[in-house]
Amino acid sequence: MRLSHIKELNPFLRSFLYIISGDIAIYVGMELLNSESVDITDEDITENIKESIKGSDIDFEPNDSEILKLNTVRKTLYKLYSEKLAQFRRIRDKSTGWFIYYWWHEFDLFEEILLEKKNLIESKLRDRLQFEQNNYFFYCKNCQESNIKYNFDKAFELNFRCPDCGNPLEAQDNQSIIEYLKNKIGVIQNIKISID
Ligand SMILES: [Zn+2]
């Protein structure tokens, strides 16, 4: 049964669902959101979505005559589950012996999930930056034949001057990568995650 007042997904959450699994994830998300107060199975969700798209040209199964398969909804629910946005409990049906899966959303965790992803990206960028900085050398153009390289700490200690001829030390060309990474880290740090 459809509720007269339909709750809408937060736009960020909507986009995130779309990224996870396309339009079907948005439909599934809407069903979960609008069935907070009732027990809903993957079969109910499938039937509700089929009902809601009846008469439209939406077809989630373009390769056959069905418009939406239970299996497609199940796969989508498991994707939501693996992104920590949905949960289920299963109960064995005594008459058939099959499991019945009841699903609910955990959209309240969305902000936390985004924050986790943000921190993960930031730490990956920091690791990469550290790698570039540790493998970042200075050399003297004038004494190039000697092939002597200095890491950042050593070059810093030398005040970025060649100890042999006094010319300025030059940085190897991963400087642009380092700048790029520093920039990215700055951008990510400034992203404010707040879902309301
Ligand atoms: Zn030199």
Distance 159 CA to ligand 1 centre (A): 13
Structure confidence at residue 31 (pLDDT)? 96
Distance 176 CA to ligand 1 centre (A): 23
Distance 128 CA to ligand 1 centre (A): 30
Mean pLDDT score, 145-154 = 86
Q: Mind listing the pLDDT tens digit for each residue in 63-79?
A: 888 999 999 999 999 99
Q: Is the pLDDT of residue 2 over 70?
A: no
Do the beta carbons of residue 45 and residue 103 sit within 8 Å?
A: yes
Distance 147 CA to ligand 1 centre (A): 10
Structure confidence at residue 144 (pLDDT)? 79
35-39, 149-153, 181-185, 192-196: segment of lowest average pLDDT? 192-196
State the average pLDDT for the chain: 91
Does residue 4 form part of some domain? Answer: no
Does residue 195 form part of some domain? Answer: no
Residue 44 to residue 50: CA distance in whole angstroms = 10
Distance 150 CA to ligand 1 centre (A): 12
Confidence label for 196 from pLDDT (cuts 50, 70 and 90): low
Q: Mind listing the pLDDT tens digit for each residue in 49-63?
A: 999 999 899 999 998
Does residue 2 form part of some domain? Answer: no
Do the beta carbons of residue 77 and residue 89 sit within 8 Å?
A: no
**Domain check: are 25 and 91 in the same one?**
yes
Residue ranges with CB less than 5 Å from ion ligand 1: 140, 142-143, 162, 164-165, 167
Does residue 122 form part of some domain? Answer: yes
Structure confidence at residue 194 (pLDDT)? 72
**Domain check: are 127 and 87 in the same one?**
no
Does residue 54 form part of some domain? Answer: yes
Confidence label for 152 from pLDDT (cuts 50, 70 and 90): confident
Domain of residue 145 covers: 116-190
Last residue of a domain, one of 41, 71, 105: 105
Does residue 169 form part of some domain? Answer: yes
Distance 145 CA to ligand 1 centre (A): 10
**Domain check: are 19 and 63 in the same one?**
yes
Q: Which of 25, 29, 24, 39 is nearest to 9 (CA)?
A: 29
Q: Mind listing the pLDDT tens digit for each residue in 68-109?
A: 999 999 999 999 999 999 999 999 999 999 999 999 999 999
Residue 24 to residue 72: CA distance in whole angstroms = 8
Distance 22 CA to ligand 1 centre (A): 59
Q: Which of 88, 87, 22 is nearest to 61 (CA)?
A: 22
Structure confidence at residue 137 (pLDDT)? 87
Distance 148 CA to ligand 1 centre (A): 9
**Domain check: are 26 and 92 in the same one?**
yes
